[in-house]
Amino acid sequence: MSTNTSVVTEFILVGFSRLADLQGLLFSFLTVYLLTVAGNLLIVVLVSADAALRTPILLLSQGTCLCLAGSAWACGALVGLGHTSFVFSLPFCGPKAIPHFLCEIQAVLQLVCGNTSLNELQIILAAALLILCPFGLILGSYGHILATIFRIPSAAGRLKAFSTCSSHLVVVSLFYGTAIFIYIRPKASYDPASDPLVSLFYAVVTPILNPIIYSLRNADVKAALKRTIQKIGPAGI
């Protein structure tokens, strides 16, 4: 028995086209994303230009830093390749419009005309490993930090430490909270109206907060920026 279906070989990202009143908001987020790229490039340039910023902290060696960064990149690449290979081995024979501004895995699964239970289980397990575990470790480490802060005798010192930790925790909670909401749930709960908006937080908002809070507020980075500007300014030409 034949079926009147066709194989989909291409997809269309419809983004927020159905939400005309949010087009200005999307443009604003695009501007924020460009600022994020510029901010991270500035940090890369500063670290490359100033040797003082290339010295690892408190307890970390250069080798440990490289291993941590390499592990993060490798895990992200492997998970991405795994999701891609599994998803695009499934049949797509229905609509080809993805109700998102990127090829989000949950949005792509909505277009599969077959059983996706194995893929959903894979996504939840990967998210539990790569989202819940780091989030738990971060919260645990900040628990120890807060316990140390409470032992600071100076009220001004405690306030300064709380100010730094609170901003860090806000960004961490915003990133992991929205990621948990998107990935650790069944496909049937996907909402094409609200989910792309939630994805903007971990795709656009937290990336621009990261360089500001973790780097550009740092006294050493500010000093390095000042030295670099002086080098390339009129006095250094």
Angle at 159 (CA atoms; ends 157, 165), nearest 5 degrees: 105
Helix-helix angle 155-183:133-149, to 10 degrees: 170
Smallest CA-to-CA distance from 79 within 16, 112, 127 is with 127
Residues 71-96: pLDDT tens digits? 888 988 888 888 888 887 888 887 88
β-bridge partners, 13: 98
Contact assessment for residue 126 and residue 182, using Cβ atoms and an 8 Å cutoff: no
Residues 122-170: pLDDT tens digits? 888 888 888 888 899 999 998 998 888 888 888 888 888 888 788 888 8
The owner of tokens 């650790």 is 184
For 23-29, the CB contacts below 8 A with 24+ separation are 26/101, 29/200, 29/204
Q: pTM score > 0.85 for this model? A: no
